[in-house]
Each structure stands twice: as C-alpha cells, then as structure tokens.
Structure 1
C-alpha cells in the first residue's frame, strides 16, 4: 500500500475539479476511510476510523448525499489518471447488482441477478472499466432505472432523478458509456458479455451501434440471437440455437480453419463469417462480422462471441474475450473490500457520488 502522503497527492489530483476546499477535503477523507475501515463501511464506521469528531459522520453523509458537486469531472480526471498508470488494453463493461431493503432507494426494483442466480430487490448500475494489465478499473457509471420509474413523478422527485433519465435497455447503457469514454481517452477495443441479456437482440443492436461509430468490439452473445452464417459458396443459413456452454457445436465452416492462440495450453478457435440482421422494420441482411467460439479439449463449444475484427485477427479477438470477466471480478472486490454495497443510495446524485468515490478508492488500491 502506498503511503498516506501518496494518497493525499492522489486525491488532490483526482478531486481537483471540486470547486470548494471543504469538498476536496471530505473527498480525501471518504476515500481514506474506505481504504482504512475493515468490514462493513457504513457512514458511522467510516467516520470513526478517520476522525474523533462527533459531527464527522453527519459531514460525510452531507458530502455524499446532499453536497451539490458534479461527478462527471471527477470521473474524467480518474480516467486520465488510470490511463497514465499503464497502457489500456481494452474498455470492458459490466453490471453491478446492489441489493437494497425497502423501496426508497433510487431505481430500486425486483430484478434477476445472474451472478447470485436469484431475483432480489436491488439497484442495477452499468460500469465502464479500463483494463490495465490484470486490473479493471471503473471510471464511469450509469444507473439503470426500471420502467415503472418513468411514469412515477413522486418517486423521481423524492430521489432527485433528472428529467432526462429514463429506462434504457442494457445495450444502450453500454453504448452511452462507450461514447463517454470516447470523449475522454484514446480508443481501445470494446469487450462485454451480453449473453445473459433478457432480450436476445441487445447484443446485435450494440454491435451495430459500435460498428457505426467505428469501434472495434468483442461481444459475448446469447444463443437466441438470430445470426446468419455465410457458407463458402456465398449462400447463407440461419445459425441454429447454440447449445449451452459445454454442449453443442457450431456449423462446419471449411473456409474458417481453427486458429491457435499462443498460451501455455493452446486454445483452438472456431469461426465463421456471419451477419446479424437489424431487428424490427429493417429488412437488410445486417453487417458482416465474425462469429467465433473457443473449443474445449473435448471439442465442445465454449462461449460464443461476435466481433468485427477480421478473420486473421481472431487470435487477438480470443485474447480480448478473456477480458470480459474483469468487471465482475472488480465489482466483487469492490463489494467485499471497498464498501460498494454499504451505502443507502437514496438519491440519484448520492448514488453517483458514492460510485465515483468507490471507484477512486478502488483505482488507488489497485494501481496506486
């Protein structure tokens, strides 16, 4: 762990967009407390770990929940700091499921959590991560509002939700976050896993959106996504539903031989040129991509991926695919060690303040 002086300098850098001296001081105090407090990181415990003042908890709560500071400049500064800490290999994206009691927290709703394999009362946030070495550092967040929140003025007013915030599907959150990163830093391949999306079209819509904007991508797709695979003679056939991980196989593709990945244990990649038709009213045949999967030692199919990298770059696509689990690993670490789940999250600004402060603490813990 770096020294306290180093932490102070880090916080001076990341939180310098805050307009007031007291805000910068409380930001440093909050991050310091997140790093120093063992166990549950309630406001009271955070305050006790860094201050003997009886009003410290109230001041911290005020800073996170009610102080009128903008989180976007903080996240922009954090993005620059992470980029300077090491080369960014990929932009990765993933959801964070935050269980909540009651109905007062912003965006709370009963939803299925695929990581816990259960339906729970929770908030869902989508994070953008910069992959630096083995670290995946969150630098931007969007809160997913459930549909019923669009038409409930009382809920929105109580949680201070801006009028521009509406319910959006997962692929729109990811695309928004990609555009946020594109405005802040140099481009990198986009890697995400949408294989568990409730709407099988999400992966195709995201792929089209990224391709239209000129981004390289590797996306894990659900087996229900309609895809046409181009045969060597130019004809097309609908890809049968890919069986769950560990079973089934892709159609034989003579023009797409297995590729070898230079790893300690060689991994075979099987691929085929493919098109993903645009849903709804669009009758075009869709954009040309590559569909690939890594083959298990028993010749069974692993996860199925869609990429706009060319055939000769599939080894690189397979390496990028290994980055897709990084956000889930980072979110689990943030939940266990950095207090991700220990905040009430009642208001929209408070939620974003908390996520920005947690992200800053996690970045320091991993790269500082």
Structure 2
C-alpha cells in the first residue's frame, strides 16, 4: 500500500500497460504526469527497460509525436488539460484515420481559454467526441479515484490496441491531484500492439489524412469515401455496454447519473438517503452505456444527471436514450458540496 496521487497512478498504469514513450508539454493540473514519468525513467533505466520522454514545444507537437512513435511500434501517450486538449483536436482526428492506438490523458480544469487553471471541472466532455471535424469517434474513460486512474489507464491502452484507435482518459482536476492510500493491482490482460514498425515493414506504407483506397488517394468519389470511413466507424459496435457502476438500492425512488469526481459526492447522498436515491456511474462514458440505463429507468420516478459543466453529458444521454433526464449542472467554480447538490435535486423532486 502506498500514498500516491491520481497523476502518479496514471503513470504506474501506463508502465503496467507497456508504454514506452511519453511526449508532452507541461500544463496545470496534468504536469505531474510528466514529472512522474521522468522519475520512472530513472528507475527503469537500472532494469534495462527503455523508456523515453520527449519535451515538445507545444501540444500540437505532442500529439503528432506520439502518433509517429506508435506507428514506429512503440506504445505512446500524452497528458494535458483544456487549452492543450483543444490544440490536439486535429491530431486526434488524424490518429483516428491513421488507426493509431494512442492514449490521451486529459486532466480537466475550468475554461474556456486559460480559465481557472487550478480549479477542477468536467467541461471537456463534448470536446472528446466533437472537437475534431468530420465523422469519427473516440472511446473515453472517466476515473473517480486514484485506483481507478491506474486501472483505466491500462484499460485505455488495451482498448486502443484492440481497436487501433485513439482513446481518451478523462480525470477531473481534483482526481489528478487527489492523494489516496492504495494498493495498485491489475490482474487482467495487457494487449500488445499489432503494428509492424515502419522500419521493419516488408512493403511501403502510405499515410495520409486524404481519403485513400489501398494506399492511393481517392478524393472525388463518394463510393471511395464510404469504403474508407465505414470500417473505421464500425469499430464502435465492438465496444460493449458493460463498464459502469450501480451504487445503492434498486428500490430507491430516484436515480442519479454522475461520473468522475462528482460521483464521489453523490456516494454521500446515496449513503445518507438510501431510500430516495441510487447512483448510475458510467466508467467508460463513450460510447455511453445507454442500454443498461434504459433497462434501469422504469424502476425510478425521476432520473437526474449531475455534472460539473452546463449539462454536456446529459444532452448525449437524452438524445441517445430518449429518456426524460433532468439535468443539474454543478457550478464550475470548484466549490460544490454534497449538501448543495442534494438541495438542487430536492427542488426538482418537489416540483
């Protein structure tokens, strides 16, 4: 058992998953991931295990560096926060089209722009799906503890390798900074990359953001576009609706949907009012676990969605489930308490 932060746990998870390269640019509250990776490099050099750190000039360079190193056959990742995540959006779209299994950790802080660098948020939810242009998708994990930061990092690398696609691991800023006494354990599989390094490829490989068919650019015919994009988008269908937590009684009156750091506050509400509320917590928030939510819904009088933004995830849940979900945005100033959330819920419950 050891006392570590969420950011440190991310690095431990990356090492467990077999990551070899980290490229990034320092930004609050994700910088400790970079610092911890550097510290781990020193430890692993003694064991003849090669780990590499690349300090890039900005986040645009960071995302493209890990795309290149992954195509060279090395598991790679980066970490950032809101402003840097915005700069990475074109690169994320490129990684999707290149079918490149990279991991991006985003420690969320209040925005837009520079915002409140040291204050936790959940404001980047929609950006994970709609930040780049065109049709694409990115699986997303959202952690609510130090232990989960470790496990979800491993799962992010595994899913990226299985689907050959970028995966995003979200943490509220305070989960990144949270320090807990944990025993980090993971007994599941570690999925290896199935990429032949460019330097060892028996035949030349062509990489371009252009629509291509068998490596040849085809940018005029819709039929060629369909052949190019459809297999990539269909990978979404391979992801199961099984990564969520149900907390509380099935006989409670109402259901609260919450994820990440905010869900920790909802635990307290459920514990205090077990007959009134239960919690449904998506762990992999995209693709959203719609089927299990729909199956649970008939048991409850009302369903509330609580998140530290202007109801970004609630919009997705409503659109995909067609359920009547009451959105309760929590103030992004960072000072939210279980008692305040409970008061908001009760106002709607009484109406």
Query: One fold, TM greater than 0.5?
Result: no
Q: TM-score, normalised by structure 1?
A: 0.26
Higher helix share goes to which structure?
Answer: 2
Tell which has more relative contact order, 1 or 2 (C-alpha 8 A, sep 6+). 1
